[in-house]
Chains A and B, each alone.
Chain A
Amino acid sequence: MSLLSVEDLTVEIGGRRVVDGVSFDVAERGRLGVIGESGSGKTMTALAIVGLAPDAATVSGRVRLDGSDLLGRDDRGYAVLRGSRIAVVFQDPRTALNPVMRVGRQISEPLRLHRGLRRRDAAAAAVDLCDRVELPDPERIARAYPHQLSGGQRQRVGIAMALACRPELLIADEPTTALDVTVQAEVMALLSQLVVEDGTALLFISHDLALVSGVVDDVLVMRDGGIVERGPVAAVTADPGHTYTRQLLDAARRTSLPAEEEVG
């Protein structure tokens, strides 16, 4: 049985369908990429799965994690899952961390919430997690405030926080978009390595098909709230069935090719 199963997920905001009858499954340890341009509904899909869609949104359909329903749960019902079984890494590491809380405390917050760790144990665990995401000088970074870290370091903190409780499913919502290209590659490598090590299933959301193809097995292509194409990543990139997928691929090639020529 699949770990996450989404059936006919629909999100309406102010009468507009931003996600329109989306269905897909993520297997245990499976890695699925969701590709689409901005406004295609991919982020809203992710937020709806974890119950964080904005108050103005009406969510319908069915979302199941390991067979148990997620939609329609109350705040508490979701709170026990978030951070422990499903975790999210957000797009912009500059704003995704609380500016007035030390990084270590933020990283260990899921552990304190779900594993009931004491403050001291949590602090030690935070340092270990910093080390795990390959942050330099973990003791110092755990005591730092977010504004004292670089963008790449902050995103590593975000990943450490998300993976703190070893969730079964990690949703990564364009985690590298706000980073520059070299840092992007490092963070991607780290993310895929950790996901494999922990056996965490991955739902990776991006607009960049080339970037995603390195970390996922299957992809969904979304446009205007619906799925236009799906399949194993190699098949989709080699022989895109839908014009839109072809356009996305061309766009990715066009932006990456000149860079390669410069290097050569």
Chain B
Amino acid sequence: MRHVWRSWPGRLGIVLVGVLLASAVVSLVWTPYDAKRVDPTQRWRPISWSHPFGTDGAGKDLLSQVLAGARTTLAVALLTVLLAAVIGLTLGILSAISPRLVGESIAHLIDVLIALPTLILALVFVAALGGSVWTVSLAIGVGSGVVLARVVRAEVSRVLTQDYILTAASSGSSTWRTVWRHIVPNIAPTVIVQLSLIAALAVLAEAALSYLGLTPVSTPSWGRMLGTLQETITVHPGALVFPGLAVVAATLGFNLLGDGVREAVDPRLRGRAATASPVFSSVVDQIEDPAVVPVTGGAGE
């Protein structure tokens, strides 16, 4: 964490994700108003001390709704990342270190699964299983997990050709120990960047699905807020600002955090952060690193 704080994309990422985390935790015990309370006397209130983010057409407090929505966003992001990491690392590592026939079968399976667009997969899951935080995470997690698997396979194959893997084997390290101690740490920077992109993708996908009304009304959600509020965008555009900013901040936060962690994990990059152009390094890395390009799968736009 100390190393992450040192670079400034990392610092901004920690702050933004920290705010998200704090909002989610705070909303569990306290929100200024009940996020679901309809108050006909308080419709379309502008920003004020009693309603810092204003109110919507039903008189519900927007700050309370944004705080409660942070919970959903965070839950989806974490679940998705966890699922994607498990699927991506397991399939990717297995396909790279298994004997050729098995490995290539797994690789082909990955390619077939990648062909399914993530957001369509999410719609199918929602239709089949009903909309919920779990379904959204499951869909995005599986969808981006297989994409991650392909990146992991390529990265592990690269690391396997390195002499230090031979050195580890010649020191008596078994295959699984070598995977854990030598391969995983060396692919970690790439995986972390991918996972941060997946977290950001999950935030957007959850917003998109609830914007479309595919998640239950009882779950507070930024996407649902935006969906409802956009109906009156010409009359009350100001009400959309804060939920919109929340989505942007969460997405940006995960991206920057991933960037910061990547630099902290790789000892060769430590201390370089101050000299690189920090704001754009996240974007530039995505462009420069060919492994990152195929990740989006068209979701979230």
- Interface residues, chain A, CB within 8 Å of chain B? 50, 52, 55, 75-76, 79-84, 87-88, 90-92, 95-101, 106, 109-110, 113-114, 145, 147, 158, 161-162
Contact = CB atoms under 8 A, between A and B. Distances in A.
Given A98-B182, A99-B268, A145-B268, A75 B174 contact: yes
B170 A98 contact: no
Contact of A100 (B99, B170, B265): B265
Interface of B: 99-100, 162-164, 166-175, 177, 181-182, 185-186, 188, 265-268
Q: Give the interface centre of A55, A76, A95, A100 by most chain B CB atoms within 10 Å.
A: A100
Nearest to B170: A88
Contacts of B168: 98, 109
Contact of A87 (B171, B265, B266, B267): B171
A100 B171 contact: no
Question: Taking chain B's interface residues, is the majority helix, strand, or loop, or is none over half, making it mixed?
Answer: helix
A84 B163 contact: no
Nearest to A94: B163
A81 B164 CA distance: 18
Contact of B181 (A88, A92, A101): A101
Given A82-B171, A87-B170, A98-B186, 6 more contacts: A79-B169, A79-B174, A95-B162, A96-B166, A97-B167, A158-B167
Contacts of A99: 164, 186, 267-268
Given A82-B169, A97-B167, A147 B162 contact: no
Question: Taking chain A's interface residues, is the majority helix, strand, or loop, or is none over half, making it mixed?
Answer: loop
Q: Give the interface centre of B100, B166, B186 by most chain A CB atoms within 10 Å.
A: B166
A80 B170 CA distance: 10
B172 A50 contact: no
Pick the 8 closest A-B CB pairs, nearest first. Answer: A83-B172, A83-B171, A88-B170, A95-B163, A82-B172, A96-B163, A98-B164, A145-B267
Nearest to B189: A100
Nearest to A51: B169
Contact of B164 (A75, A84, A88, A97): A97
Contacts of A87: 170-171
Nearest to A114: B172
A242 to B, nearest CB: 31
B185 A101 contact: yes
B165 to A, nearest CB: 8
B32 to A, nearest CB: 46
Q: Give the interface centre of A80, A109, A145 by most chain B CB atoms within 10 Å.
A: A109
Nearest to B164: A98
B100 A55 contact: yes
B104 to A, nearest CB: 13
A23 to B, nearest CB: 23
A91 B186 CA distance: 21
Given A75-B174, A81-B172, A83-B171, A147 B166 contact: no
Contacts of A110: 171-172
Given A55-B100, A98-B182, A90 B167 contact: yes
Contacts, number: 85
10 contacts: A79-B174, A81-B172, A83-B170, A83-B172, A98-B185, A99-B186, A100-B267, A113-B172, A158-B167, A161-B167
A225 to B, nearest CB: 21
Given A90-B167, A161-B167, A84 B186 contact: no
Nearest to B175: A75
A149 to B, nearest CB: 12
B3 to A, nearest CB: 13
Nearest to A95: B163
Q: Give the interface centre of B99, B168, B170 by most chain A CB atoms within 10 Å.
A: B170
Given A99-B268, A100-B265, A145-B267, A52 B172 contact: no
Q: Give the interface centre of B166, B168, B177 by most chain A CB atoms within 10 Å.
A: B168
Contact of A147 (B177, B181, B267): B267
Contacts of B185: 98, 100-101
A83 B170 CA distance: 6
A82 B175 CA distance: 13
A99 B268 CA distance: 8
Contacts of B177: 113
A96 B164 contact: yes
Q: Give the interface centre of B164, B167, B175, B182 by most chain A CB atoms within 10 Å.
A: B167
A114 B186 CA distance: 24
Nearest to B176: A75
A52 B168 CA distance: 11
Nearest to B99: A55
A80 B164 contact: no
